[in-house]
Structure 1
Amino acid sequence: MKILVISQYWYPENGVPQRRWTWLSDLLRSKYALEVIAPPPHYRRNLKLLDWAKQIVGRGRGDLEFGPSGERIHRTFFIPGGNSLTQKALNQLTVAMGMMLKLTVLSFSHPSRKPDVIIGTVPALPTAVVTYFASKVLRAPYIIDLRDAWPDLLSQSDQWNNSVGSRSFREFLLSHGPLQGASWLTDRSVNWVLAHSSGVMVTSSHLEENLRSRFSKNGRELPLVTIRNVFPSRTDFVRQYVNEDLKGTLNVLYAGTIGRAQNLANAVEAAKIAATSGVDVHLRFVGAGAAKEALREMAEALGVHAEFYFRRPADALDEHYEWADTALVHLTDWEPLERAVPSKTYELMSSGLHISGVVAGEAAEIIEYCNAGEVVPPERPRELAALWVRLANNPSELRVGNLGREWVAKERTEIAPEKLYAFIRNVFGDK
């Protein structure tokens, strides 16, 4: 069987979608031929105009690459993005147009090249439409790999900028009409693509259940499978001991995206509240995102002890993991996020670090089931502060057992591969 993957994020980039698909590519390449259409690496890179132009010109002279699993990668046109919603949208739309052009130009007509199945990875949301377009052009069935609860998160668009400070004038204008129209069109388009797919891969069982209830109607049951983001961690760190002598302090690490869906202002406020109970919470944020500067300003204004570090790959986080007494997994209280599990949850469970989970839904259930830490509801800073005060005063509660590490290892090495192969086999048969 020959598989074509369409994605806006790919190796050698190091984000969650890229690491997920480096892992899945390795699994798929053990059984199938794999080709990829993706833009050049530019995610979270501040490309200058001249560098971008050189990259585009260079790609025109030969754009076929090979990934770490031996997958053939066809690179596409793109315009660099940024942190603002409009910049991200422009980037995703231009990449989508480049993908359509690439699909038109590439000669998949020869029987040896034509894919048997197409997999589109979402987000970015325009990729769903490109995947549907590709299925028509190439006359091949398609699967959507749906990471997070899209398009349901579009219903929260009026709250997307709550954690990033004041909106730009451009975003203010676009939010009065254009954003609503674009959200409505995207919601309808993505749901149409999902409903007409040959199957959908998701990252949480709650999302799988939600989609099954919505799309399995009129006698047709939409094939669904949950493949969690349990891709291999790039750190070998394992917590060996717990500091029993905290002396009224608690080191709290957050490593990940500092963005809209996290709203980490809640954690800063909790640290301020904990100080009134005599506990000095030291916050350390490692990462990047649209809300980082607003969060830094808030911490300074409240006098909270907070350090900010640039985003680092997982294999460079060991010193931060060693420093931390507990690690923060944090989402805001948007209803669709109850069907999302931050991938950092699995890495922290593998590392044996105590998790302070500010999450609801499936993420909370996993942390509690695996005894990987403790959970408080999102947007409840007083409850989070109370948790941190209790941990600082009772450091023995920071110990976690091996259940979380064993659970993740089994999901990664046994359950996910078996489910992936069975899903493709059941939907498309053996070819």
Structure 2
Amino acid sequence: MKILVLSQHWYPENGVHQRRWTWLSELLIEAGHEVAVICPPAHDQRKIGFLSWLRSISSLRKNVGFGPAGERIIRCLYLPAGRSLVLRACNQGVVAGGMLLARFQNVRYFRDFQPDLVIGTVPAIPTALVTPMVATLFKTPYVIDLRDAWPDLLVARDEWNDGTGLEAGHANRIGALPMRLVSILLTMMMNFSYRHSRGMIVTSQDLADDLQAKASRSGRELIITTIRNVFPPKTTYQAHITPEAQPGVLNVLYAGTLGRAQKLGNALDAVKLAAERGVRVNLRFVGAGVARDELLRKITEEGVTAEIHGRLPAQQLREHYDWADTALVHLTNWEPLKRAIPSKTYELMASGIHITGVLDGEAADLIKELDGGHVVAPEDPEALASLWVELARHRDRLEVSQAGKEWVEWQRDEETPRLLFDFLRKIGFE
């Protein structure tokens, strides 16, 4: 079978989404399928000047190669992305348009590669909207791979910049009514895309159940499967407990995106509250994102015992993991995030690192059921401070079970391949 994937991000970028699809591509190719992807050149973490962008656009048709799984990579049009939501949305829209154009810019390749199935993978809304169009061009069915709870997250749009230090931005200044209309239109278009897909892949069971319940209320059923982000880690790190550490001190590591959905100012507030109770919490951020400058301002102005390091490859996190007593997995309290599971959760469980989970829903349930750490509710710095004080004073509570590691390995090596190929059979492909 020939499979065409549409994605806003791909190799050599090294984020969660790219690593997930390199892994899935390997499974598909090892099973004898042929995989090609239409995606933009790597640009998400780069500052690209106008002339450099023009040169990269002019060479798109020559910029066709292979990825690490053996997948064919066809690059498409893009815009340099900025930090604001409007600039990012514009880039995502241009990339989606570029996916359509790629069909005509690579006529020779697609003469030999006529896909049997198109898969649109959606951290970005425009990909969900363009996937039915691309599938129509190729006269083939399509599948939506949905990582986040879109379009439900649009309900929280007024809070997207909270905790980032950024102004409301052009989108909010347009006015509440136009933005409400845009949200309604996007919701209708995404639901149309879901409804007409051959099937859907999601990353959490709660999201699968929610989508199925909504479909049932509309008198229809979805073929849907849950494939979690348990892709192979880039490090074989295994944690060890250091009970001889200084009493009354706790080292906390957050390694991930400093973004809108995290609202990590809550963790800084908890550090201050713990200090008032006689416990020193050393909080270390390793990562990048739109909230970085606001976090740095808060750390500096309020004298919080925290520091920020830049983004690092997984292989270079070892010394930070050695330093940490617990690793923070943190989301804010937007209702749709109850159906999200940060990929870092699986990596930490596989490494045996104690997790401080500030989240709700399925992610919280997994950490508790698999004895991977402790959980408190989002946006409750008092509860988080209390947990850290307890861990600093009773370090034996930092020990975690092997159940999390074993479960992640089972999901990765046995459950995911079974679910993936069962799903393909259910939608009519062997």
Range of TM-score over shorter length: over 0.9
Task: Give the structure 2 partner of residue 405 of structure 1.
Answer: 405
Deviation at 1:170, TM superposition (A): 3.1
Task: Give the structure 2 partner of residue 364 of structure 1.
Answer: 364
Q: CA–CA distance in 1 between the matches of 2:273 and 2:81?
A: 37
Q: CA–CA distance in 1 between the matches of 2:426 and 2:22?
A: 23
Task: Give the structure 1 partner of residue 40 of structure 2.
Answer: 39
Q: CA–CA distance in 1 between the matches of 2:272 and 2:233?
A: 33
Deviation at 1:240, TM superposition (A): 2.5
Q: Could you say if the C-alpha distance between residues 295 and 124 of structure 1 is closer, same or farther in structure 2, counting changes exceeding 3 Å?
A: same
Equivalent residue runs for 1:45-64 within 5 Å? 45-60=46-61, 62-64=62-64
Q: Could you say if the C-alpha distance between residues 100 and 205 of structure 1 is closer, same or farther in structure 2, counting changes exceeding 3 Å?
A: same
Deviation at 1:54, TM superposition (A): 2.2
Task: Give the structure 1 partner of residue 249 of structure 2.
Answer: 249
Task: Give the structure 2 partner of residue 322 of structure 1.
Answer: 322
Q: CA–CA distance in 2 between the matches of 1:201 and 1:81?
A: 27
Deviation at 1:178, TM superposition (A): 4.2
Answering whether residue 429 of structure 2 is matched by residue 426 of structure 1, we say no
Q: CA–CA distance in 1 between the matches of 2:236 and 2:417?
A: 22
* 8 Å Cα contact 1:66/1:72 also seen in 2: yes
* 8 Å Cα contact 2:84/2:169 also seen in 1: no
SS in 2 for 1:252: strand
Task: Give the structure 2 partner of residue 67 of structure 1.
Answer: 67
Partner deviation per Cα, 1:117-169 (whole Å, 9 max, x = no partner) = 11000021100111110111111000000001111101100111111124066
User: Which range moved further: 329-338 or 211-220?
Assistant: 211-220
Q: Could you say if the C-alpha distance between residues 78 and 306 of structure 1 is closer, same or farther in structure 2, counting changes exceeding 3 Å?
A: same
TM-score by structure 2 length? 0.96
Task: Give the structure 2 partner of residue 129 of structure 1.
Answer: 129
SS in 1 for 2:93: helix
User: Which range moved further: 21-30 or 159-168?
Assistant: 159-168
* 8 Å Cα contact 2:158/2:172 also seen in 1: no
Q: CA–CA distance in 2 between the matches of 1:373 and 1:262?
A: 19
Question: Which ranges of structure 1 fall in alignment gaps of 5 or more residues?
Answer: none
* 8 Å Cα contact 1:202/1:228 also seen in 2: yes
Amino acid at match of 1:336: P
TM-score by structure 1 length? 0.96
Deviation at 1:298, TM superposition (A): 1.2
Q: CA–CA distance in 1 between the matches of 2:254 and 2:169?
A: 31
* 8 Å Cα contact 1:5/1:120 also seen in 2: yes
SS in 2 for 1:428: coil
* 8 Å Cα contact 2:63/2:74 also seen in 1: yes
Deviation at 1:100, TM superposition (A): 1.1
Q: CA–CA distance in 2 between the matches of 1:109 and 1:321?
A: 45
Deviation at 1:318, TM superposition (A): 0.7
Equivalent residue runs for 1:214-363 within 5 Å? 214-216=214-216, 220-363=220-363
SS in 1 for 2:311: coil
Task: Give the structure 2 partner of residue 77 of structure 1.
Answer: 77
* 8 Å Cα contact 1:121/1:146 also seen in 2: yes
Amino acid at match of 1:45: R
Amino acid at match of 1:256: G
Partner deviation per Cα, 1:63-97 (whole Å, 9 max, x = no partner) = 21111111111100111112110111111011111
* 8 Å Cα contact 1:3/1:34 also seen in 2: yes
Task: Give the structure 2 partner of residue 386 of structure 1.
Answer: 386
* 8 Å Cα contact 2:258/2:290 also seen in 1: yes
Equivalent residue runs for 1:25-36 within 5 Å? 25-31=25-31, 32-36=33-37
> What is the number of residues matched between the two proteins?
429
Q: CA–CA distance in 2 between the matches of 1:236 and 1:109?
A: 39
SS in 2 for 1:187: helix
Q: CA–CA distance in 2 between the matches of 1:218 and 1:95?
A: 32
* 8 Å Cα contact 1:108/1:114 also seen in 2: no
RMSD (Å) for aligned C-alpha atoms: 1.6
Question: Which ranges of structure 2 fall in alignment gaps of 5 or more residues?
Answer: none
Q: Could you say if the C-alpha distance between residues 104 and 228 of structure 1 is closer, same or farther in structure 2, counting changes exceeding 3 Å?
A: same
Partner deviation per Cα, 1:232-285 (whole Å, 9 max, x = no partner) = 111111012333333211110001011110000100000000000000110100
SS in 1 for 2:308: strand
Q: CA–CA distance in 1 between the matches of 2:246 and 2:355?
A: 17
Partner deviation per Cα, 1:215-238 (whole Å, 9 max, x = no partner) = 135664210000000011111110
Task: Give the structure 2 partner of residue 160 of structure 1.
Answer: 160
Partner deviation per Cα, 1:31-89 (whole Å, 9 max, x = no partner) = 211111100111122222232222222324x1211111111111001111121101111
Q: Could you say if the C-alpha distance between residues 428 and 326 of structure 1 is closer, same or farther in structure 2, counting changes exceeding 3 Å?
A: same
SS in 2 for 1:216: helix
Task: Give the structure 2 partner of residue 208 of structure 1.
Answer: 208
Q: CA–CA distance in 2 between the matches of 1:297 and 1:173?
A: 25
Q: CA–CA distance in 2 between the matches of 1:219 and 1:128?
A: 22
* 8 Å Cα contact 2:2/2:116 also seen in 1: yes
* 8 Å Cα contact 2:241/2:398 also seen in 1: no
SS in 2 for 1:183: helix
Q: CA–CA distance in 2 between the matches of 1:318 and 1:36?
A: 32
Task: Give the structure 2 partner of residue 199 of structure 1.
Answer: 199
